[in-house]
Amino acid sequence: MGFKIIKYGSPILRKKSVEITENDNVALIVENLFSTLKKEGGLGLAGPQVGILKQIFVIDTSPLTEEDSLITKIENAIVNPEIVGLSEEKEYYNEGCLSIPGIYEDVLRPETIDVRYYDINFNLIEERLDGIKARIFQHEYDHLEGILFIDRLSPLKRKLLSGKLNKIKKG
């Protein structure tokens, strides 16, 4: 089981996702997102990246915890998320994306965020996130809004990447 990853250039990645409802088979979507993520070896995967334009994503930090035992392992499915607060303090972190293979760049984002979301059983969760969890959450949340991490780079940086991006677009 699993999904095929939609790559940069597809208009699907630029669309806004709709809310998950109780009619959606959340358990099945989550199972497929996790198996696809494990197979592809990323840290997070959002619905739109597999053609599901719904507000859902999964986080799995096991590729990092295998390298660094100080990082706590997080395996979490996030439904209908909202970011309700952003810290003024920002930091750079080197990001990549399964939809934009081969490109890794430092992206500036708030360090700490306050979030609301539902778990797979539709329990409301409210928490403050920092570190790697805040980083992945913001990257995946952007996917639900049709935003990619390269949109958050400087115009010059993006220009320098345009050749590589065009190559991905052409497949």
Is residue 17 within 8 Å of 53, Cβ to Cβ?
yes
Region class of 15: left (phi > 0), else alpha (psi between -120 and 50), else beta:
beta
Candidates 50, 74, 97, 144; binder of Co ion (CB under 5 A) is 97
Q: Point out which residues pair with 110 in neighbouring strands.
A: 90
Select 4 or 70, whichever has its Cβ closest to Co ion.
4
Select 26 or 136, whichever has its Cβ closest to Co ion.
136
Q: Which stretch binds Co ion (CB under 5 A): 17-25, 79-87, 94-102, 126-134?
A: 94-102
Would you count residue 150 as binding Co ion (CB under 5 A)? no
Q: Among residue numbers 51 through 90, which ones bind Co ion (CB under 5 A)?
A: none
Residue with tokens 């797979």: 120
Three-state DSSP class for residue 9? coil
- From the list 20, 107, 37, the residue with the least C-alpha distance to 76 is 37
Q: Which stretch binds Co ion (CB under 5 A): 63-71, 74-82, 97-105, 120-128?
A: 97-105
140 catalytic residue (yes or no) = yes
Would you count residue 136 as binding Co ion (CB under 5 A)? no
Strands 124-129 and 113-118: antiparallel
* Binding positions for Co ion, rule: CB under 5 A: 97
Active site members: 140
